[in-house]
């Protein structure tokens, strides 16, 4: 049945361009083409547990973190990007699970914050990279979070740089629409404490949200689900009143079990949140950031680098201390 649906979806993607570029995202529902979410077999948590079976923290980290479906992030470290995304979604497809991928390579990434600075060498290089990213997925079902932080902070950017950023994101969405018809793409909308709902609705719309399936909230942050849900609904009210449409949204719940203390960079006393699932006040609650992976050289991750797995931080996050 699933293969029949994929064949039908492929046929739909071959309709004339005038129909294929309808304002609403036209991807088939990848949650119905699969049977549950994919657990990354090579996540940082999985690797640590496998390498440290005698560690007293391994059982808890394995049970509570390593076996929860969590996103895999792709960027310059991923090698040939189409090969990398193709291999990942292919592995998920073979076990009939839905993979979650994060595209994190936009030109001038984290331009204002700087903690995760980097990205593609130019807008043209990014356009090529994201085209290959989408092409690697192809017709297989997937969820993609498009460029965390990209619309959250324009404070240090000129209008020309903002226009350039929005053009890159809109171009990325066009590639997914053309090459990955069974992928739902979510544009990142930051978090409730970054920009007001009206501002974020405008930024999303100007960057091409109409082409996307939806938007994402709270990535790598700690803000409670209820606060994110209220914000997502407020963004949708602004989208509806200003532009005449709304979009589904997802919330990163990987580290928001104890809420936020106002700090975003490795704060102490945080806790894992609701595991990846459909519903929960949003379209989905997703683990997008791996609990225990450092935000950078700060807080309880002093001396670490962004993305480094810290087992003691992970262990304490399971219990909330």
273 burial type by CB count under 10 A (0-12 exposed, 13-18 middle, 19+ buried): buried
Q: What angle do CA 209, 157, 224 make, to 5 degrees?
A: 55
Cα–Cα distance, 210 to 110 (Å, whole number): 24
Containing 20, the helix (H) or strand (E) segment is helix 17-20
Query: Catalytic residue at 96?
Result: no
Residues 6+ apart with CB under 8 A from 7: none
Detail the DSSP E strand segments found in the chain: 72-74, 100-103, 142-146, 183-188, 214-217, 249-252, 277-278, 284-286
> What is the rounded distance in angstroms from the CA atom of residue 110 to the CA atom of residue 98?
28
The rounded distance, in Å, linking the Cα atoms of 135 and 129 is 10
Q: Which of 110, 149, 188, 252 is catalytic?
A: 149
Helices 81-94 and 123-137: angle between axes, nearest 10 degrees: 20
Catalytically active residues are 149
């Amino acid at each position: 049945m699933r293969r029949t649906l994929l064949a039908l979806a492929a046929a739909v993607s071959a309709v004339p361009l005038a129909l294929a570029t309808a304002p609403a995202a036209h991807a088939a529902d990848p949650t119905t083409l699969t049977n549950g979410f994919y657990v990354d077999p090579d996540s940082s948590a999985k690797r640590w547990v496998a390498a440290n079976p005698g560690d007293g923290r391994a059982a808890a980290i394995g049970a509570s973190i390593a076996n929860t479906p969590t996103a895999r992030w792709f960027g310059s470290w991923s090698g040939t990007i189409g090969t990398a995304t193709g291999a990942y979604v292919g592995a998920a497809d073979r076990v009939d699970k839905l993979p979650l991928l994060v595209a994190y390579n936009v030109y001038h990434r984290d331009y204002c914050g700087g903690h995760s600075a980097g990205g593609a060498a130019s807008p043209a290089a990014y356009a090529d990279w994201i085209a290959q990213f989408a092409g690697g997925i192809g017709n297989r079902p997937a969820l993609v979070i498009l460029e965390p932080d990209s619309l959250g902070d324009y404070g240090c950017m000129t209008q020309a740089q903002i226009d350039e950023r929005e053009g890159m994101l809109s171009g990325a969405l066009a590639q997914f629409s053309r090459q990955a018809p069974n992928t739902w793409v979510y544009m990142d909308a930051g978090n409730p404490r970054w920009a007001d709902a009206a501002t974020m609705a405008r930024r999303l719309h100007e960057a091409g949200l109409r082409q996307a399936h939806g938007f994402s909230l709270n990535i790598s942050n700690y803000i409670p689900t209820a606060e994110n849900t209220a914000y997502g609904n407020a963004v949708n009210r602004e989208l509806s009143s200003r532009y005449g449409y709304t979009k589904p949204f997802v919330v990163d719940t990987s580290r928001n079990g104890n809420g936020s203390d106002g700090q975003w960079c490795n704060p102490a006393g945080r806790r894992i949140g609701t595991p990846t699932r459909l519903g929960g006040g949003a379209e989905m609650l997703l683990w997008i950031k791996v609990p225990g992976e450092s935000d950078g050289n700060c807080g309880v991750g002093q001396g670490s680098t962004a993305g480094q797995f810290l087992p003691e931080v992970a262990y304490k996050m399971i219990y909330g201390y």
